[in-house]
Structure 1
Amino acid sequence: MRALARMLEPFLEKGRLTIIDAQNTRYELGGRAPGPEAVIRFHDRWLPMKLMWDPELKGAEAYMDGRLTLEEGTHVNDLVSVFTVNRGPLNATPLQKMLWSFKEGHTRKKQRLNLHRNKAQVRHHYDLNTDLYRLFLDDGLNYSCAYYRSPEDTLEQAQAAKLDHLIAKLDLKPGMEVLEIGGGWGSLAIRIAQAGAKVKVLNVSPEQIKIAEQRVAALGLQNSVEFICKDYNEFHGQFDRIISVGMMEHVGIGNFEAYFAKVKECLTPTGYAVIHSIGRYTPPGTTGPFLLKYIFPGGYVPALSEVFAATEKQDLWVCDAEILRLHYYYTLRDWRRRFEANWDKAKALYDERFCRMWQLYLGACEVGFREGSTMVVQLLVSRERDAVPIIRDFITDNERQMQAIESDSNRSQSA
Structure 2
Amino acid sequence: MSTRGAHLVHGDRGFMTGGSLIARAIAPGVDTLIDAVHRKMERGGIDATLPDGSRRRVGFHRPGPAARLEVKSWMALVRLGFSGSVGWYKAWDLGEWTSPDLVPLFELFSLNAVTLGDVGRAKGPARWLNSLAHRLRDNAPQRAKANIAAHYDLGNDFYSAWLDTTMTYSSARFAGTDEPLETSQLRKVHALLDRLEIKPGSRLLEIGSGWGTLAIEAGKRGANVVGLTLSEEQKAWADRRIVEAGLSDKVEIRLQDYREIAEQFDAIASVEMVEAVGQRWWPAYLDCIARNLRPGGRAALQFISMDGRLFDRYARNADFIQTYIFPGGQLLNEPRFEALAQERALSWEGREGFRIDYAETLKHWRERYEAAIATGRLNGFGEQFHRLWRYYLMYCEGGFRGGAIDVAQVTMVKG
Instruction: Say whether the fold is shared (TM-score over 0.5).
Output: yes
**Residue 160 of structure 1 is aligned with which of 169, 181, 186?**
186
Are 2:58 and 1:30 equivalent residues in the alignment?
Answer: yes
Q: Amino acid of the residue matched to residue 258 of structure 1? A: A
Among the aligned pairs, what percent are the same residue?
Answer: 30
Cα deviation, 1:130-161, whole Å, max 9, x if unaligned, reads: 22222332101011111112233221221121
Q: What secondary structure sits across from 1:276 in the alignment?
A: strand
Q: Matches of 2:172 and 2:236 in 1, distance apart?
A: 23
Task: Give the Cα–Cα distance (whole angstroms) in 1 for the partners of residues 220 and 129 of structure 2.
Answer: 46
The aligned counterpart of 2:341 is: 311
For structure 2, the residue ranges without an aligned partner over 5 or more in a row are: 1-14, 16-26
Alpha-carbon offset, residue 105 of structure 1: 12
Match of 1:55 in 2: 84
Distance in 2 separating the partners of 1:253 and 1:232: 15
Q: SS where residue 168 of structure 2 aligns? A: coil
Identify which range, 232-241 or 36-45, moves more after superposition: 36-45
Do the aligned residues in 2 keep the contact of 1:5 with 1:27 (CA within 8 Å)? no
Contact 1:176/1:197, CA 8 A, preserved across alignment: yes
Look up the equivalent residue of 1:240 and give its one-letter code. D
Return the letter of the residue paired with 2:98. Answer: T
2: CA distance, partners of 1:233 / 1:260: 10
| Contact in 1 for aligned 2:80/2:122 (Cα 8 Å) | no
1:40 to 44, 58, 69: 69
Tell me, in whole angstroms, the C-alpha distance in 2 between the residues paired with 1:33 and 1:332: 29
Question: 2: distance between equivalents of 1:310 and 1:238?
Answer: 21
Distance 2:208 2:236 in 1: 14
Question: 1:347: Cα distance to partner?
Answer: 5.2
**Per-residue CA shift, 1:223-270, capped at 9, x if unaligned?**
111111011012221111111111111110122121111101001123
- Contact kept? 1:7, 1:90, Cα under 8 Å: no
Q: CA deviation at 1:204?
A: 0.2
Question: Displacement of 1:83 after TM fit?
Answer: 2.6
Write the letter of the residue equivalent to 2:56.
E
Runs of 5+ unmatched residues, structure 1: 385-415
Question: Matches of 2:131 and 2:95 in 1, distance apart?
Answer: 30
The 5-angstrom pairing of residues 193-272 of structure 1 reads 193-272=219-298
For residue 97 of structure 1, report the CA deviation from its aligned partner.
10
State the alpha-carbon separation in 1 of the partners of residues 119 and 408 from structure 2: 33
Q: Is the 8 A contact 1:180 1:199 kept in 2?
A: yes
Q: Equivalent residues in 2 for 1:10-159 (5 A)?
A: 10-12=36-38, 13=41, 14-21=44-51, 24-34=52-62, 35-42=64-71, 44=73, 46-70=75-99, 74-88=100-114, 89=116, 110=135, 113-159=139-185
Q: Residue in 2 aligned with 1:291?
A: 321
* Whole-Å separation in 2 of the counterparts to 1:312 and 1:104: 35
Q: 1:370 aligned to 2:386?
A: no
CA RMSD in angstroms, aligned pairs only: 2.9
Distance 1:201 1:305, change over 3 A: same
Give how far 1:98 is off: 9.2
For the 8 Å contact 1:279–1:301, the answer to whether it is kept is yes
Give distance in 2, aligned partners of 1:378 and 1:321.
Answer: 6
Per-residue deviation, residues 345-385 of structure 1 (Å, max 9, x unmatched): 3651211111111111111111111112222222221222x
Using the TM superposition, give the Cα deviation of residue 103 of structure 1 relative to its aligned residue in structure 2, in angstroms: 6.1
Give the aligned residue type for 2:53: T
Contact 2:347 2:414 (C-alpha < 8 Å) held by counterparts: yes
Identify if the C-alpha distance between structure 1 residues 161 and 326 changes in structure 2 by more than 3 Å, giving closer, same or farther.
same
Q: Which residue of 1 aligns with 2:21?
A: none
SS at match of 1:326: helix
* More displaced 10-residue stretch of structure 1: 351-360 or 198-207: 351-360
Higher mean alpha-carbon deviation, 323-332 vs 156-165, is at 323-332
Residues matched between the structures, number = 377
Cα offsets for 1:56-111 (capped at 9, x unmatched): 111212223434333xxx11213323433332457569xx99969x8699679937
- Structure 1 counterpart of 2:80, one-letter code: L
Distance 2:118 2:298 in 1: 46
Give SS of 1:141's match.
coil
Match of 1:353 in 2: 384
2:7 aligned partner: none
Corresponding residue for residue 387 of structure 1: none
Alpha-carbon separation, structure 1, partners of 2:402 and 2:74: 32
For residues 289-320 of structure 1, the C-alpha deviation after alignment (integer angstroms, 9 at most, x for no partner) is 21011111111111211211211221222343
**SS at 2:48's partner residue?**
strand
Q: What is the deviation of 1:195?
A: 0.6
Provide the rounded CA distance (Å) in 1 between the counterparts of 2:155 and 2:324: 16
Indicate the SS of the match to 2:308: coil
**Aligned-partner Cα distance in 1 for 2:334–2:87:** 30
**Aligned-partner SS, 2:280:** coil
Report whether the alignment pairs 1:8 with 2:34. Answer: yes
SS of the residue corresponding to residue 121 of structure 1 reads helix
Q: Normalised by the size of structure 2, how large is the TM-score?
A: 0.82
Q: Distance in 1 between matches of 2:123 and 2:169?
A: 38
Distance in 1 of aligned mates of 2:84 and 2:379: 30
Instruction: Give the partner amino acid of 2:46.
Output: R
Give the AA of the match of 2:222.
G
Quick one: structure 1 residues 264 and 105, their matched pair in 2 at CA, closer, same or farther if it must change by over 3 Å?
A: farther
- Aligned to 1:348, the other structure's residue is in SS state coil
TM-score (norm 1): 0.82
Shift of 1:183: 0.4
